[in-house]
Amino acid sequence: MLLLAFACAPKQNLSEDGCRKSLKNDFSSLVIEQVQSVVEEDTLYLNQMAFKCVDSFFRIKKNMFEKFGMWSDNVCIECPGHNALIWENIELLPNNDKKFYVVTHGERKQIGFSLWVQVFDEELNDMLANDSPYIKELMDFFSDLVRSQVNNRKAFQKEYRKIY
């Protein structure tokens, strides 16, 4: 019966992500998605956190910059376009000295943005895999990061513009 109720509901103005509007300092949903990546001749399947309906393409990147400083590297995933930023060997989680690699990226959608985060440990194991002991902590950490205000936009923008 519930399915029927949704099927008969009037259509609303939604984007392909199901967004009615972009959300300031929040997101509509968080999902773990598996993505295919080809490195040289190998095909890898990696997990990424996807935050939907966010108001700013740079929200995670700016907050990572504010919290952990300059990124270690950047890579153009879909050129031309904005680069993914990579932080290497950072102590990401509070009260934990484990070091992680973090890759951040995003995409403009019809309404708002989708932001993606990939996290790996020092051995480059996927920390968003189902069997990761850190998955819940990482989801909470990045959810809080998306909801955080960005305090020092100009410093980030100055460094980010140097990429181009």
Query: What are the pLDDT digits (tens) for 47-69?
Result: 999 887 777 778 889 899 999 99
Write down the pLDDT at residue 9: 30
- Position 162 scores a pLDDT of 86
Query: Where residue 15 falls among pLDDT bands split at 50, 70, 90?
Result: very low
Task: Flag whether the pTM goes above 0.75.
Answer: yes
| 30 neighbors 51 (Cβ within 8 angstroms) | yes
Mean pLDDT for 96-112 is: 84
At 26, the pLDDT band (50, 70, 90 cuts) reads low
CA angle, 63 as apex, 45 and 15 as ends, to 5°? 60
Two structure tokens written together for 134:
């850190």
Rg (CA), the chain: 17
For the chain, domain boundaries: 2-161
How many other CB atoms are found less than 10 A from the CB of residue 117? 25
Residue 24: its pLDDT value, please? 62
What's the full length of the chain, in residues?
A: 164
The answer, yes or no, to whether residue 12 has pLDDT greater than 60, is no
pLDDT of residue 106: 82
Higher pLDDT, 46 or 6: 46
Q: In what order do the strands lie in the sheet with 29-39?
A: 29-39, 42-54, 113-121, 99-108, 83-91, 73-76
134: pLDDT strictly greater than 70: yes
